[in-house]
Amino acid sequence: MKTTVATPQADQAPSTAKGFNVGSIFRQDLGQIPVAIALILMALYFNATTNDLFLSARNLSNLTLQSCVIATIGLGSIMVLLLGEIDLSLAVVANLCGAVTCIMSVFHHFPWWAAILAGLAAGFGIGLINGLIVAFLRVPSFIVTLAASLGYQGLLLHILLPNTTLIITDPNLKGIAANYLPDYLGLGLPILGIALYAGYIILTRVRRLRQGLAVPPLWQTGVNLGVTIALVALVLWQFESYFGVPIMTMLVLAMIALFWVLMRFTTFGQHVYAIGGNAEASRRAGINVNVIRVLIFGLASMLAAAGGIFLSSRSADADVAVSPTLLLQAIAAAVIGGVSLFGGRGSVWAVVMGTLVIEGLENGLNLKSSGDDTKFMVEGAVLILAVIVDALLRRRSTAAGR
């Protein structure tokens, strides 16, 4: 019997509205529009209350560099969340694999690229171990990764003994976070990306209309494109007013684009969404659920390793101290961006908006000299609001039979 696999819910369009009114707007799946509007309002507020410091070229450049680590680890969190699982070891894995890269470079004199590959391979191997236990031994991912985070923290301490930090000496490793793209690449690559994105949106809409399939309202497509182009133009203008586009920022965007292609256009990605939506139905449809779970945990930890390498490059060292908020911020970035905690819904691009909200709040509050008490309360309120919205959307989808 022939079976089919559902396409990712993040890319399923609502029916075309027959008329335009306020009620129809709130009945649609607005995607990233509410988060984008909230981000714009937040930026305008902080800029007005910090004497135009928030949107200054220097602060935006620093903000994007600060966001790279959370965005990369958050991307790994998204991969696991799409399955309806969770990985609590990603922050520790990031520090551990950053330390592996530094050790390979400093003590074993690996060239910079080989040291990076060693760190990424370590992350992938760690994720495979976690995934094997979750998939084949049927131990809840919460327990497995919680225990793993403790074990990897001990391993991090062990491999750096007797030191607590290890200074990076290779200028190429430090240059990942310190250097900027030449103007022709810093401007050309984002413009090319926007052009490809706009072409994809338009061609997809035309194709679905010709096939008689549902499409979003035209105003929603226009707003999505307009907001995206406006944000990119603003950021590029500010970057070019400073030193240019940071290399690390472009690397993170390239990784997100790569994983978007993987999840949107491949059978593997469709299977991930299907498993997150209904694992048992996916198994009966012939999908190898266990293998995909193992691979996703491997990819998530490899992305965390990339985040750890970025972190080490930015601080120019490997450190045994793991930020107590790094994991929570990464998961929060995914949820605020619209990825469901229950699996099967969301896009990898969600991490961009989510990270900018998280880091933007912290950066703006720092510029206002707010204390940690205020920062924690505000970030907690934003996160609980995102979780409530996720629960309401899931309830609405269940009631509608989707």
Q: Tokens in use for 317? A: 């060292």
Residue 21 pLDDT > 70: no
Q: Output the CATH code of domain 31-179+246-392.
A: 1.10.3470
Residue 155 has a pLDDT of: 95
The stretch 236-258 carries a mean pLDDT of 89
Structure confidence by residue, pLDDT tens digits, 4-16:
444 454 444 334 4
Cα 115 from Cα 130, distance rounded (Å): 23
Structure confidence by residue, pLDDT tens digits, 22-64:
444 334 445 566 777 778 888 888 888 888 888 888 888 888 8
Residue 130 has a pLDDT of: 95
Structure confidence by residue, pLDDT tens digits, 344-398:
888 888 888 889 888 888 888 888 888 878 878 887 887 787 777 766 766 665 5
Structure confidence by residue, pLDDT tens digits, 249-274:
999 999 999 999 999 889 999 999 99
Residue 19 pLDDT > 60: no
Residue 231 pLDDT > 80: no
What percentage of the chain carries pLDDT values higher than 90? 43
Cα 89 from Cα 146, distance rounded (Å): 6
Structure confidence by residue, pLDDT tens digits, 88-135:
999 999 999 999 999 999 999 999 999 999 999 999 999 999 999 999
Structural domain boundaries of the chain? 31-179+246-392, 180-245
DSSP lists the bridge partners of residue 165 as: 319
Residue 211 pLDDT > 60: yes
The stretch 230-234 carries a mean pLDDT of 81
Residues 6+ apart with CB under 8 A from 265: none
φ/ψ of 101, rounded to 5, equals -60, -45
**What global pTM score does this model have?**
0.85
The stretch 77-91 carries a mean pLDDT of 93
Structure confidence by residue, pLDDT tens digits, 138-175:
999 999 999 999 999 999 999 998 888 999 989 999 99
Cα 114 from Cα 121, distance rounded (Å): 10
Burial class (CB in 10 A: 0-12, 13-18, 19+), 286: exposed
Residue 152 has a pLDDT of: 95
